Structure 1
């Protein structure tokens, strides 16, 4: 089994991954606009997240609008929403298992962290591909083009932390330990090796047989 210090490091990496995934899920800058306006009353930055769309005006006003309608959202956005929430839940459950500090629960915690990592990576990659594809489309106006935002970077980094922590926890699996024999007969190598419990059982059986013979 790996040392306790390595497991503490894995727990810290997984904790950073959980916090990062949770923050990234709530951030509004999954994609940001590339168009910057010069007028005072027009927005200088537009950003869209999983749950809200925000606008930052040059006057310093920051306004956000919640995405209340599920049916109007594209498929990749709905999938990313569900996957990120599920990733945070699975990773949190993995932290609970890892805090127990036992061998088999550590393996289960590692599996949870690896699963949570893939639940971050797959939708984030799909989201990034959709943003880049729309950006490279020539028939869209500049005001409708977006580029990947900081929340995606946080998501990928958090997924890396979760994956690293999960792999370390899985490597902490205790191997099968074979019991070493108490003694072996060097004079007769073909004689089966006796373990301590088997030796005691046979000695007790021999004593019982001797008592029966004397009786």
Structure 2
């Protein structure tokens, strides 16, 4: 039970970190610290492009229509949002199936629900990891490309936070899935035999009990018959 609680806390922390990256502005940022002249800093995320001047004021512009966005940006958005949604449902399933909540019903039913939550957590972590890795790969490839003439960016803080949250989701889901899966395997291996044996024993007891009851009725009927005959003979 304590291992399940620890895994749930780990996955919940990772999910919160992944959620925090969606509204964060600094997915990628331009570095102007080595420049002699004061030039504005550029940074962007999944939803908008921003520019900040030396005075600290910033101006952001949302991306154009979704249909006009490149496929790379749409894929990153879809994976990041999927990670958040799957992490939410993973938390719901885990809360239902945990031993300390006692909501799911029997022990094996709780184990199966917990295993489903662990799988959902792992898929959520891999979705977030794919989104951040795709964004980082594009940013690094543009930065290293000498023929690229556009604005070059570096990795922002949101990517590192997202990577940490995705790792927590994956690790917590793996351990949680191992624990619940082991419990399901033990149940399928040992409990059905004991269940069949108990059913056979109960059936035998019912048969014996029925036979004893029937014999008892016959003996009582015989006794009554004997008593009746004896009384008639006496009369």
Tell me whether the two structures share a fold, i.e. TM-score over 0.5: yes
Question: How is 1:115-130 mapped onto 2 (pairs within 5 angstroms)?
Answer: 115-130=123-138
Residues 69, 179 of structure 1: alpha-carbon distance in 2 compared, 3 angstrom cutoff: closer
Deviations 1:77-123 (A, max 9, x none): 11001110111001011111111123221111101110001111122
Aligned to 1:190: none
Residues 134, 181 of structure 1: alpha-carbon distance in 2 compared, 3 angstrom cutoff: closer
Q: Distance in 2 between the 1:180 and 1:136 partners?
A: 61
Q: Distance in 2 between the 1:93 and 1:179 partners?
A: 30
Q: Distance in 2 between the 1:111 and 1:156 partners?
A: 19
Q: 1:202 aligns with which of 200, 204, 207?
A: 204
- Checking the alignment, whether the CA contact within 8 Å between 1:46 and 1:55 is kept in structure 2 is yes
For normalisation by structure 1, the TM-score amounts to: 0.82
Higher helix share: 2
> Can you give the 5+ residue segments of structure 2 that lack an aligned partner in the other structure?
99-109, 219-235
Aligned to 2:49: 53
Residues 147, 181 of structure 1: alpha-carbon distance in 2 compared, 3 angstrom cutoff: closer
For normalisation by structure 2, the TM-score amounts to: 0.75
> Can you give the 5+ residue segments of structure 1 that lack an aligned partner in the other structure?
183-193
Deviation of 1:168 (Å): 1.9
Q: 2:161 aligns with which of 145, 154, 158?
A: 154
Pairing 1:90–2:97 present: no
Question: How is 1:25-64 mapped onto 2 (pairs within 5 angstroms)?
Answer: 25-36=22-33, 42-43=39-40, 45-64=41-60
Residues 29, 14 of structure 1: alpha-carbon distance in 2 compared, 3 angstrom cutoff: same
Q: Distance in 2 between the 1:160 and 1:181 partners?
A: 40
Deviations 1:116-169 (A, max 9, x none): 01111122222111111111111234x711111111111111110110111122
Counting matched residue pairs gives: 198
Deviation of 1:8 (Å): 1.1
